C-alpha cells in the first residue's frame, strides 16, 4: 500500500511540473528535422508566451538534402543557392492545450506566420515528458506566395507543404 501511494504521489508530482504551455512568460525552444518535397533539413523555433493562450515567436529552416534543381528554362543546377535553402518566419500561435484538455502535458497550437518566402499557416502539437523536455510535430502550409510568377524548382523550396518533428524544451 505504501508503494502504491508513493507511485501515485510521484506521478502527480511529475505531472504538476510537466505542463506543455503555462501562459504569459512561457518560453519554448524546438529543434528538429524538416521535410518537404525535394528537400530535407533542420528547423528551429523559439516561442514566447504573451497571454493565457497566445504566443509569438520566430522559426527558421535550412534545407540540407536537396535533389538537383532546375531553373525556369529546364537546365539542371548542381545545388540550390543559400537564399533558396533558408527561410525565416515570424509566427503567432494559439495554444489550445488547456482548451481541449486532453492532458496537461499536451498542447495543440494552430497559428499563422509571415516568412521570407510566403504567408502561411501551421498546426503543431507537443507533448512534454518532464518539465523541460518533450517532442513536437508541426505541419506548415503556404497560403500566399510572394512570388506569383512561375517558380523554378529552387524557388518552390519553402513554398510548399512541409512537416517538422523533433524535440521541444522549456527555457
DSSP label at 152?
Answer: P
Q: pLDDT at position 67, please? A: 63
**Helix, strand, coil: what percent of the chain each, to 5?**
15, 55, 30
Q: Which residue has the cell 534543381?
A: 69
Helix (H, G, I), strand (E, B) or coil at 24: coil
Give residue 52's Cα distance to chain centre: 20
Between 80 and 17, the higher pLDDT residue: 80
Report whether 23 contacts 49 (CB < 8 A). Answer: yes
Set out the domains of the chain in order of their start, with CATH numbers: 2-170 (2.40.160.20)
DSSP 3-state assignment of 98? helix
pLDDT digits (tens, 9 = 90+) for 154-166: 788 889 999 999 9
Does residue 133 contact residue 31 with C-beta atoms inside 8 Å? no
Residue 62's pLDDT is 96
100-115 pLDDT, tens digit each: 888 889 999 999 999 9
Average pLDDT value for residue range 57-84: 80
104 three-state secondary structure: coil
Q: What is the pLDDT of residue 49?
A: 93
Note the residue count of the chain: 171
Element (H, E) at 115: strand 106-115
Q: What is this structure's pTM?
A: 0.80
Residue 12 has a pLDDT of 46
Amino acid at each position: 500500500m505504501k508503494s502504491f501511494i508513493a507511485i501515485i504521489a510521484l506521478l502527480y508530482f511529475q505531472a504538476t511540473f510537466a505542463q506543455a504551455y503555462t501562459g504569459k512568460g512561457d518560453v519554448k525552444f524546438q529543434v528538429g528535422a524538416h521535410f518537404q518535397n525535394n528537400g530535407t533539413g533542420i528547423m528551429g523555433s523559439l516561442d514566447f508566451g504573451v497571454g493565457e493562450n497566445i504566443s509569438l515567436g520566430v522559426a527558421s529552416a535550412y534545407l540540407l538534402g536537396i535533389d538537383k534543381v532546375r531553373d525556369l528554362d529546364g537546365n539542371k543546377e548542381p545545388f540550390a543557392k543559400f537564399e533558396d535553402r533558408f527561410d525565416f518566419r515570424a509566427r503567432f500561435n494559439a495554444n489550445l492545450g488547456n482548451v481541449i484538455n486532453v492532458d496537461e502535458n499536451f498542447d495543440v497550437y494552430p497559428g499563422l506566420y509571415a516568412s521570407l518566402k510566403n504567408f502561411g499557416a501551421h498546426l503543431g502539437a507537443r507533448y512534454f515528458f518532464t518539465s523541460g523536455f518533450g517532442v513536437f510535430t508541426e505541419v506548415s502550409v503556404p497560403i500566399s506566395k510572394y512570388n506569383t510568377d512561375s517558380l523554378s524548382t529552387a524557388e518552390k523550396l519553402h513554398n510548399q507543404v512541409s512537416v517538422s518533428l523533433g524535440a521541444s524544451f522549456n527555457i
